[in-house]
Amino acid sequence: MTPEFNLIKQHFTRPTRNTNLGVGDDAALISIGTGMELAVSADMLVVGTHFFANCHPYQLGWKSLAVNISDMAAMGANPKWATLAIALPEVNQVWLAEFSRGFFACADAFNVDLIGGDTTRGPLTISVQIMGEVPIGKAIKRNGAKVNDEIWISGKLGDATLALRHIQGKLILPEDVFVFCAKALHTPQPRVALGLALQDIANSAIDISDGLLADLDHILEQSKIGAILELKNIPHCSYTGFPIDLHDENFRTMVLAGGDDYELCFTAPLEKHTEILKLSESTKLPLKCIGHITANTGLIVHGLQNEILDIKETGFDHFS
Ligand code: ADP
Ligand code: MG
């Protein structure tokens, strides 16, 4: 066996659950259920852009799959299969073992099979493709938001960005707060159960990877409508011992435009309000109404005194 195939066998081959033929042949084989359509998406992580060269390989393995699973959650799809294309500067068995341990921990947590991929030498780059199932016509798209829909958010925003700013030396967090926020940054929890539950509730949805305002703006553009958000209603930083002050523009920007949260932002008709609150209870995941959709295009954020905020930053853009 060649060293390359040995590496694939050792680190990237595991028993599968949802798959007819997995890693090892020229292609994998899968069957999708009757009445289902295949949701397909890919996300790439590049050293220096998405993660630091010295980051922990376990966390990198987890995150590279988790961010892809998050896209399935945002579609209301059930993630099932993934492929992994990886470029490695060198073969480091310890690094690879930790990377695959993190990757498969996430795969196991969300019942996803790794069914194939590619392994080459090059600057550390990880490209994952995810595939999932959704009943035909039930996927939650970005273009479905309606005037007067309420805008909802899961979980809390800004933890990952707080940790990132700390790592970058732009602010200093107390050790316990950093440890807490670093978990959000390195091992995000995609909201799959919520996405599935929203199939019959939400008119539109997106996952927050680049920042709330930037990602919500995708919904607004594709649905050709606008929105008003209430800053005081936006849930932020979940560490109780560290209250952050939204009067401070830096903190406000982290909550409104910080990325890497992987929470879901969705819109739903007013009459679904109670059902959504019940869903929040049954899933033990905070769901908060943060604003509503307007016929006028554009995005307005009301500040803490109800003033209209002057927004300078909406989120991360690779090419801006
Ligand atoms: P080919 O030369 O036909 O492209 P490869 O030698 O690249 O085949 O890959 C052999 C098998 O291992 C294929 O089934 C491929 O999908 C799988 N594979 C390669 N790299 C990875 C990886 N990083 N993760 C999972 N499967 C992989
Ligand atoms: Mg190949």
pTM tops 0.75: yes
> Rounded to whole angstroms, how far apart are CA atoms 71 and 130?
9
Indicate which ligand has the atom closest to the C-alpha of 27. 1
3-state secondary structure of 85: strand
Tens digits of per-residue pLDDT, 172-193? 999 999 999 999 999 999 999 9
Output the CA 21–ligand 2 centroid distance in Å.
Answer: 16
Indicate which ligand has the atom closest to the C-alpha of 1. 1
Sequence-ordered list of residues with C-beta below 8 angstroms from that of 234, at least 6 positions apart, any chain: 153, 157, 212, 255, 256, 288, 290
Q: Whose CA is nearest to atom 22 of ligand 1?
A: 117
Beta bridge partners of 155: none
Output the CA 170–ligand 2 centroid distance in Å.
Answer: 42
Tens digits of per-residue pLDDT, 260-271? 999 999 999 999
Cβ(291)–Cβ(233) below 8 Å:
yes
> Rounded to whole angstroms, how far apart are CA atoms 56 and 64?
12
- Nearest ligand 1 atom to the CA of 23 is 14
Q: Whose CA is nearest to atom 8 of ligand 1?
A: 26
With a 6 Å cutoff on the Cβ, whether 276 touches ligand 1 is: no
Output the CA 192–ligand 1 centroid distance in Å.
Answer: 27
- Of all helices (H) and strands (E), which one includes residue 213? helix 212-223
Give backbone dihedrals phi and psi of 39, rounded to 5 degrees, phi first.
-100, 125
For residue 319, pLDDT beyond 70: no
> Rounded to whole angstroms, how far apart are CA atoms 17 and 220?
38
* Token digits of residue 207: 């996952």
Cβ(215)–Cβ(208) below 8 Å:
yes
With a 6 Å cutoff on the Cβ, whether 96 touches ligand 1 is: no
Cβ(112)–Cβ(83) below 8 Å:
no
Cβ(199)–Cβ(135) below 8 Å:
yes
Tens digits of per-residue pLDDT, 128-138? 999 999 999 99
Output the CA 115–ligand 1 centroid distance in Å.
Answer: 9
With a 6 Å cutoff on the Cβ, whether 2 touches ligand 1 is: no
Cβ neighbour number for residue 171 with a 10 Å cutoff: 12
> Rounded to whole angstroms, how far apart are CA atoms 227 and 297?
7
